[in-house]
Protein backbone atom coordinates (compact mmCIF):
# COMPACT_ATOMS: atom_id res chain seq x y z
CA UNK A 1 0.00 0.00 0.00
CA UNK A 2 1.21 3.50 -0.77
CA UNK A 3 2.83 5.44 2.04
CA UNK A 4 3.42 9.18 2.41
CA UNK A 5 6.46 10.18 4.44
CA UNK A 6 5.15 12.59 7.12
CA UNK A 7 8.31 14.72 7.33
CA UNK A 8 8.79 17.49 4.73
CA UNK A 9 11.86 17.26 2.50
CA UNK A 10 13.82 20.29 1.36
CA UNK A 11 15.88 21.44 -1.59
CA UNK A 12 18.89 23.73 -1.12
CA UNK A 13 16.71 26.70 -2.07
CA UNK A 14 14.30 25.94 0.79
CA UNK A 15 16.89 26.55 3.51
CA UNK A 16 19.38 29.21 4.52
CA UNK A 17 22.39 29.46 6.81
CA UNK A 18 21.87 31.57 9.93
CA UNK A 19 24.83 33.86 10.74
CA UNK A 20 26.59 33.49 14.08
CA UNK A 21 29.19 35.38 16.12
CA UNK A 22 32.64 35.32 14.52
CA UNK A 23 36.15 36.33 15.53
CA UNK A 24 37.52 35.73 12.03
CA UNK A 25 39.13 38.83 10.55
CA UNK A 26 39.97 37.42 7.12
CA UNK A 27 38.68 34.51 5.12
CA UNK A 28 42.32 33.56 4.57
CA UNK A 29 42.11 32.13 8.11
CA UNK A 30 39.58 29.57 6.84
CA UNK A 31 40.74 26.12 5.70
CA UNK A 32 38.35 24.30 3.35
CA UNK A 33 40.45 21.13 3.04
CA UNK A 34 38.60 17.82 3.36
CA UNK A 35 39.66 14.19 3.37
CA UNK A 36 38.01 11.25 1.66
CA UNK A 37 38.90 8.24 3.79
CA UNK A 38 37.25 4.97 4.73
CA UNK A 39 37.74 2.04 7.11
CA UNK A 40 37.48 -0.30 4.09
CA UNK A 41 40.43 1.05 2.10
CA UNK A 42 44.11 1.71 2.71
CA UNK A 43 43.83 4.75 0.43
CA UNK A 44 42.66 8.26 1.21
CA UNK A 45 42.48 11.52 -0.64
CA UNK A 46 42.83 15.10 0.58
CA UNK A 47 41.54 17.99 -1.51
CA UNK A 48 41.84 21.66 -0.64
CA UNK A 49 38.44 22.54 -2.09
CA UNK A 50 35.60 19.99 -1.71
CA UNK A 51 34.54 20.06 -5.35
CA UNK A 52 34.39 17.23 -7.90
CA UNK A 53 33.55 17.70 -11.56
CA UNK A 54 30.84 15.32 -12.74
CA UNK A 55 31.74 12.23 -14.74
CA UNK A 56 29.89 13.42 -17.85
CA UNK A 57 31.21 13.50 -21.41
CA UNK A 58 30.59 17.25 -21.78
CA UNK A 59 32.23 18.04 -18.44
CA UNK A 60 35.27 15.94 -17.54
CA UNK A 61 38.08 14.69 -19.70
CA UNK A 62 41.78 14.64 -18.92
CA UNK A 63 42.21 18.42 -19.38
CA UNK A 64 39.50 19.19 -16.83
CA UNK A 65 40.85 16.60 -14.37
CA UNK A 66 44.37 18.03 -14.59
CA UNK A 67 43.16 21.61 -14.19
CA UNK A 68 41.05 20.77 -11.15
CA UNK A 69 43.84 18.85 -9.45
CA UNK A 70 46.19 21.78 -9.94
CA UNK A 71 43.50 24.10 -8.50
CA UNK A 72 43.01 21.97 -5.37
CA UNK A 73 39.86 20.10 -6.40
CA UNK A 74 39.42 16.84 -8.33
CA UNK A 75 37.75 15.57 -11.48
CA UNK A 76 35.89 12.35 -12.28
CA UNK A 77 36.57 10.94 -15.74
CA UNK A 78 33.44 9.64 -17.45
CA UNK A 79 32.83 6.06 -18.60
CA UNK A 80 31.18 6.74 -21.94
CA UNK A 81 34.10 5.76 -24.14
CA UNK A 82 36.05 2.67 -25.13
CA UNK A 83 38.37 0.98 -22.65
CA UNK A 84 41.53 2.09 -24.52
CA UNK A 85 40.20 5.66 -24.59
CA UNK A 86 39.43 5.53 -20.86
CA UNK A 87 42.91 4.23 -20.08
CA UNK A 88 44.56 6.90 -22.24
CA UNK A 89 42.54 9.66 -20.57
CA UNK A 90 43.67 8.42 -17.17
CA UNK A 91 47.29 8.14 -18.30
CA UNK A 92 47.16 11.75 -19.52
CA UNK A 93 46.16 12.78 -16.00
CA UNK A 94 48.86 10.61 -14.48
CA UNK A 95 51.54 12.01 -16.78
CA UNK A 96 50.66 15.47 -15.49
CA UNK A 97 51.31 14.18 -11.94
CA UNK A 98 47.66 14.69 -11.12
CA UNK A 99 45.00 12.38 -9.70
CA UNK A 100 41.36 11.79 -10.53
CA UNK A 101 38.45 9.41 -10.19
CA UNK A 102 37.68 6.92 -12.95
CA UNK A 103 34.21 5.58 -13.62
CA UNK A 104 32.54 2.22 -14.14
CA UNK A 105 29.03 1.07 -14.94
CA UNK A 106 27.50 -2.31 -14.14
CA UNK A 107 26.70 -3.59 -17.63
CA UNK A 108 28.70 -4.93 -20.56
CA UNK A 109 32.49 -5.00 -20.08
CA UNK A 110 32.81 -3.24 -16.73
CA UNK A 111 35.09 -5.91 -15.26
CA UNK A 112 37.50 -5.59 -18.16
CA UNK A 113 37.36 -1.80 -17.84
CA UNK A 114 38.06 -1.96 -14.11
CA UNK A 115 41.03 -4.28 -14.58
CA UNK A 116 42.51 -2.18 -17.39
CA UNK A 117 42.22 1.04 -15.40
CA UNK A 118 43.67 -0.60 -12.30
CA UNK A 119 46.63 -1.92 -14.30
CA UNK A 120 47.17 1.61 -15.63
CA UNK A 121 47.43 2.87 -12.06
CA UNK A 122 43.92 4.07 -11.27
CA UNK A 123 42.88 3.51 -7.67
CA UNK A 124 39.94 5.86 -7.07
CA UNK A 125 36.84 4.37 -8.71
CA UNK A 126 33.26 5.58 -9.01
CA UNK A 127 30.64 2.95 -9.73
CA UNK A 128 28.08 5.18 -11.35
CA UNK A 129 24.51 4.12 -12.14
CA UNK A 130 21.16 5.88 -11.97
CA UNK A 131 19.79 3.72 -9.13
CA UNK A 132 22.64 2.67 -6.91
CA UNK A 133 20.56 0.89 -4.27
CA UNK A 134 20.31 -2.25 -6.37
CA UNK A 135 21.58 -5.80 -6.62
CA UNK A 136 23.62 -4.82 -9.68
CA UNK A 137 25.52 -2.30 -7.59
CA UNK A 138 25.96 -4.81 -4.78
CA UNK A 139 27.42 -7.43 -7.11
CA UNK A 140 29.76 -4.90 -8.73
CA UNK A 141 31.10 -3.50 -5.46
CA UNK A 142 31.60 -6.96 -3.99
CA UNK A 143 33.51 -8.08 -7.10
CA UNK A 144 35.76 -5.01 -6.97
CA UNK A 145 36.47 -5.49 -3.28
CA UNK A 146 37.17 -9.19 -3.78
CA UNK A 147 39.44 -8.55 -6.77
CA UNK A 148 41.41 -5.53 -5.55
CA UNK A 149 40.96 -5.67 -1.77
CA UNK A 150 41.90 -2.55 0.15
CA UNK A 151 44.06 -1.21 -2.70
CA UNK A 152 41.22 0.74 -4.29
CA UNK A 153 38.79 3.40 -3.07
CA UNK A 154 35.21 2.74 -4.18
CA UNK A 155 32.59 5.48 -4.48
CA UNK A 156 29.12 4.05 -5.17
CA UNK A 157 26.03 5.88 -6.32
CA UNK A 158 23.66 7.32 -6.83
CA UNK A 159 21.42 6.73 -3.86
CA UNK A 160 18.79 8.87 -2.18
CA UNK A 161 17.89 7.35 1.19
CA UNK A 162 19.50 6.63 4.52
CA UNK A 163 18.57 2.96 4.29
CA UNK A 164 20.54 2.78 1.07
CA UNK A 165 23.54 4.05 3.06
CA UNK A 166 23.02 1.13 5.43
CA UNK A 167 23.18 -1.31 2.51
CA UNK A 168 26.27 0.39 1.10
CA UNK A 169 28.01 0.02 4.44
CA UNK A 170 27.37 -3.71 4.37
CA UNK A 171 28.75 -3.90 0.82
CA UNK A 172 31.96 -2.20 2.06
CA UNK A 173 31.94 0.87 -0.15
CA UNK A 174 34.32 3.69 0.76
CA UNK A 175 32.05 6.65 -0.06
CA UNK A 176 28.49 7.15 -1.26
CA UNK A 177 27.27 9.52 -3.94
CA UNK A 178 23.81 10.82 -3.09
CA UNK A 179 21.14 12.58 -5.10
CA UNK A 180 18.51 11.36 -7.55
CA UNK A 181 16.77 13.63 -10.03
CA UNK A 182 18.41 16.88 -8.94
CA UNK A 183 20.84 17.59 -11.77
CA UNK A 184 20.45 20.57 -14.07
CA UNK A 185 20.06 18.34 -17.14
CA UNK A 186 18.33 15.45 -15.34
CA UNK A 187 14.71 14.64 -16.24
CA UNK A 188 14.24 11.66 -13.92
CA UNK A 189 11.77 13.55 -11.75
CA UNK A 190 9.78 14.58 -14.84
CA UNK A 191 9.79 11.20 -16.56
CA UNK A 192 9.44 8.87 -13.57
CA UNK A 193 8.21 10.98 -10.65
CA UNK A 194 11.24 9.86 -8.64
CA UNK A 195 13.35 12.53 -6.94
CA UNK A 196 15.13 13.04 -3.63
CA UNK A 197 15.22 16.70 -2.53
CA UNK A 198 18.90 17.41 -2.14
CA UNK A 199 19.24 19.18 1.19
CA UNK A 200 17.24 16.58 3.09
CA UNK A 201 18.94 13.75 1.21
CA UNK A 202 22.41 15.01 2.10
CA UNK A 203 21.44 15.65 5.72
CA UNK A 204 19.84 12.26 6.35
CA UNK A 205 22.43 10.23 4.47
CA UNK A 206 25.32 12.06 6.14
CA UNK A 207 23.92 11.58 9.63
CA UNK A 208 24.00 7.81 9.17
CA UNK A 209 27.15 7.56 7.05
CA UNK A 210 29.19 9.57 9.56
CA UNK A 211 28.60 6.89 12.20
CA UNK A 212 30.59 4.46 10.07
CA UNK A 213 33.18 6.86 8.71
CA UNK A 214 31.75 6.80 5.19
CA UNK A 215 32.06 10.11 3.30
CA UNK A 216 29.07 11.47 1.41
CA UNK A 217 29.41 13.15 -1.98
CA UNK A 218 26.43 15.38 -2.82
CA UNK A 219 25.77 15.01 -6.55
CA UNK A 220 23.44 17.38 -8.37
CA UNK A 221 21.06 20.14 -7.40
CA UNK A 222 23.65 22.82 -6.66
CA UNK A 223 22.76 25.87 -8.74
CA UNK A 224 24.65 28.52 -6.78
CA UNK A 225 27.95 28.51 -4.93
CA UNK A 226 26.04 28.95 -1.68
CA UNK A 227 24.43 25.55 -2.27
CA UNK A 228 27.87 23.99 -1.87
CA UNK A 229 28.14 25.56 1.58
CA UNK A 230 24.70 24.22 2.47
CA UNK A 231 25.69 20.71 1.36
CA UNK A 232 28.94 20.77 3.32
CA UNK A 233 27.14 22.16 6.36
CA UNK A 234 24.57 19.37 6.09
CA UNK A 235 27.35 16.78 6.26
CA UNK A 236 28.65 16.19 2.74
CA UNK A 237 32.40 15.76 2.44
CA UNK A 238 32.40 17.05 -1.14
CA UNK A 239 30.02 18.25 -3.83
CA UNK A 240 29.94 16.91 -7.38
CA UNK A 241 28.72 19.23 -10.11
CA UNK A 242 28.47 19.22 -13.85
CA UNK A 243 26.71 22.57 -14.13
CA UNK A 244 29.50 24.59 -12.50
CA UNK A 245 32.15 23.21 -14.86
CA UNK A 246 30.30 22.70 -18.15
CA UNK A 247 31.46 25.41 -20.54
CA UNK A 248 34.88 25.88 -18.96
CA UNK A 249 37.63 25.92 -21.60
CA UNK A 250 38.97 22.63 -20.17
CA UNK A 251 35.66 20.77 -20.61
CA UNK A 252 35.29 18.51 -23.68
CA UNK A 253 33.53 20.30 -26.52
CA UNK A 254 30.92 17.97 -28.00
CA UNK A 255 29.16 19.31 -31.09
CA UNK A 256 31.10 22.53 -31.52
CA UNK A 257 30.26 26.07 -30.45
CA UNK A 258 27.26 28.21 -31.42
CA UNK A 259 27.48 31.72 -32.85
CA UNK A 260 26.80 33.00 -29.34
CA UNK A 261 29.76 31.04 -28.00
CA UNK A 262 27.59 28.46 -26.26
CA UNK A 263 28.47 24.78 -25.91
CA UNK A 264 26.44 21.65 -25.31
CA UNK A 265 25.92 20.35 -21.78
CA UNK A 266 24.02 17.09 -21.71
CA UNK A 267 22.81 14.55 -19.23
CA UNK A 268 24.18 11.07 -19.72
CA UNK A 269 20.62 9.72 -19.83
CA UNK A 270 19.69 12.10 -22.66
CA UNK A 271 18.77 10.85 -26.13
CA UNK A 272 21.92 12.37 -27.59
CA UNK A 273 24.18 10.62 -25.10
CA UNK A 274 22.30 7.34 -25.55
CA UNK A 275 22.89 7.42 -29.31
CA UNK A 276 26.62 7.79 -28.66
CA UNK A 277 27.00 4.93 -26.19
CA UNK A 278 24.45 2.38 -27.43
CA UNK A 279 24.75 0.21 -30.53
CA UNK A 280 21.02 -0.36 -30.89
CA UNK A 281 18.12 1.39 -32.58
CA UNK A 282 15.98 0.85 -29.50
CA UNK A 283 16.74 3.66 -27.09
CA UNK A 284 15.35 3.99 -23.56
CA UNK A 285 12.99 6.78 -22.56
CA UNK A 286 15.38 9.67 -21.94
CA UNK A 287 15.85 10.82 -18.35
CA UNK A 288 18.20 13.63 -19.33
CA UNK A 289 18.36 16.50 -21.79
CA UNK A 290 20.87 18.53 -23.75
CA UNK A 291 21.09 22.29 -23.28
CA UNK A 292 23.40 25.05 -24.42
CA UNK A 293 25.46 26.83 -21.77
CA UNK A 294 27.56 29.96 -22.07
CA UNK A 295 31.30 29.71 -21.95
CA UNK A 296 32.57 29.94 -18.38
CA UNK A 297 35.86 31.05 -16.86
CA UNK A 298 38.69 28.56 -16.47
CA UNK A 299 38.27 25.63 -14.13
CA UNK A 300 40.81 27.24 -11.81
CA UNK A 301 38.74 30.41 -11.61
CA UNK A 302 35.57 28.42 -10.89
CA UNK A 303 37.34 26.54 -8.09
CA UNK A 304 38.59 29.83 -6.64
CA UNK A 305 35.04 31.20 -6.67
CA UNK A 306 33.76 28.06 -4.96
CA UNK A 307 36.53 28.26 -2.39
CA UNK A 308 35.88 31.94 -1.73
CA UNK A 309 32.18 31.32 -1.23
CA UNK A 310 32.91 28.51 1.21
CA UNK A 311 35.44 30.57 3.14
CA UNK A 312 32.94 33.40 3.50
CA UNK A 313 30.21 30.99 4.59
CA UNK A 314 32.51 29.49 7.21
CA UNK A 315 33.39 32.96 8.50
CA UNK A 316 29.71 33.92 8.82
CA UNK A 317 29.29 31.21 11.46
CA UNK A 318 32.68 31.70 13.12
CA UNK A 319 34.32 28.58 11.69
CA UNK A 320 37.88 28.14 10.43
CA UNK A 321 37.48 24.51 9.31
CA UNK A 322 34.87 22.17 7.92
CA UNK A 323 34.55 20.46 11.29
CA UNK A 324 33.87 23.77 13.03
CA UNK A 325 31.47 24.78 10.26
CA UNK A 326 29.30 21.72 10.88
CA UNK A 327 29.52 22.22 14.64
CA UNK A 328 28.51 25.89 14.47
CA UNK A 329 25.95 25.88 11.68
CA UNK A 330 22.23 26.50 12.09
CA UNK A 331 19.82 26.28 9.17
CA UNK A 332 16.57 28.14 8.75
CA UNK A 333 13.63 27.23 6.52
CA UNK A 334 12.31 29.81 4.09
CA UNK A 335 8.68 30.85 4.48
CA UNK A 336 6.23 29.84 1.77
Active-site positions read: 186
Which residues on neighbouring strands pair with residue 333, listed in sequence order?
A: 15
265 closest CA partner among 56, 52, 55: 56
Yes or no: say if 178 and 158 are a contact pair by the CB < 8 Å rule. Answer: yes
Q: Which residues of 141-176 are buried (b: 16+ CB within 10 A; e: fewer)?
A: beebbeebeeebbbbbbbbbbbebbebbbebbbbbb
324 Rama class: left (phi>0) / alpha (psi -120 to 50) / beta: alpha
Residues 6+ apart with CB under 8 A from 153: 36, 38, 41, 43, 44, 45, 123, 124, 125, 174, 175
Give the N- to C-terminal CA distance of the chain in Å, as an integer. 31
How far apart are the C-alpha atoms of 77 and 62, rounded to whole Å? 7
CA distances from 267 to 200, 251, 331 (A): 23, 14, 31
Q: Are strands 175-178 and 216-219 parallel, antiparallel or unpaired?
A: parallel
Alpha carbon distance 86, 40 (integer Å) = 26
In terms of Cα–Cα distance, which of 131, 55, 129, 45 is closest to 86?
55
Sign of the CA dihedral running 69, 107, 146, 95: negative
Output Rg (C-alpha) for the chain, integer angstroms. 19
Amino acid sequence: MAYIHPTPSYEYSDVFIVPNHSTITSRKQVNTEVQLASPNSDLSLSIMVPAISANMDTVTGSKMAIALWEAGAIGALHRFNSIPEAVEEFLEVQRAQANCFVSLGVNSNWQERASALYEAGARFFIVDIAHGHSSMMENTVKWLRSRFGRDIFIVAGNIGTSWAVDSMKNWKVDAVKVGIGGGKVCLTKNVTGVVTPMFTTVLECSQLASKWGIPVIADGGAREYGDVAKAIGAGATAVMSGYFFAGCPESPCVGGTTEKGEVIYRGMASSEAAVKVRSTDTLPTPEGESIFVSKKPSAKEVVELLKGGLQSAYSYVGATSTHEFRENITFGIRGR
